[in-house]
Amino acid sequence: MAVRSIDLKVIVGLGNPGSKYTETRHNAGFWFVEQLAAKHSVSFRADKKFHGDVAKILLKDKEIWLLKPGTFMNRSGLAVHSLLSFYRFTASQLLVAHDEIDLPSGTTKLKTGGGHGGHNGLRDIISQLGSNDFHRLRIGVGHPGSKDQVVDYVLHTPSKDDRIDIDNDISKAIDVMPELASGDMERAMHILHSK
């Protein structure tokens, strides 16, 4: 899919709710939106109609919703669909931040469209929206080396060094959010992918 301008309205971070999962690799999307909210000095609040926790930030004088689904990962689409349909946003106005096993820890990439790659959160969002035409922030968490170990791997805490790499990369991704808010996906990708 060709890179184009983006009219960003919503950033969703994927993860599993509950203290048991807070530090696991599968919650890298939560880590991203939590750090983004903290940078803008805003707090998440529970919102039942959106099946999750929401916050709002101003980026380049533009109001952007942040969402952490309160459902488990494989039901993430419920929260995303609820918020998008309530405000009449389209899939193309959405950025989903998620853990990506096909990228090493410390590598984060932006992309638009594509399949779910076996990621249950993305699978459910695509199913609920009836579209894969949304943007993704793929936060590398590394691969266990075997397909059979993936579930166990993403539900465990990364090593201290890997977590430092992931957090550093999340900071770099946060730095390009103003470009995305301005609609310049291409510039955001160029900056992030060359870091």
Q: Which residues of 163-177 are buried (b: 16+ CB within 10 A; e: fewer)?
A: bebbbebbeebbebb
- Domain total in the chain: 1
| Domain range enclosing 116 | 10-193
Determine, yes or no, domain membership for 65.
yes
pLDDT, one tens digit per residue, over 72-97 is: 999 999 999 999 999 999 999 999 99
Determine, yes or no, domain membership for 58.
yes
| 190 part of the active site | no
CB 33 within 8 A of CB 66: yes
Strand duo 45-47 + 62-69: pairing: unpaired
Which residue in 26, 51, 98, 119 is the catalytic one? 26
pLDDT, one tens digit per residue, over 152-176 is: 999 999 999 999 999 999 999 999 9
Determine, yes or no, domain membership for 2.
no
Determine, yes or no, domain membership for 1.
no
CA distance 55 to 169: 22
Write down the pTM of the prediction: 0.95
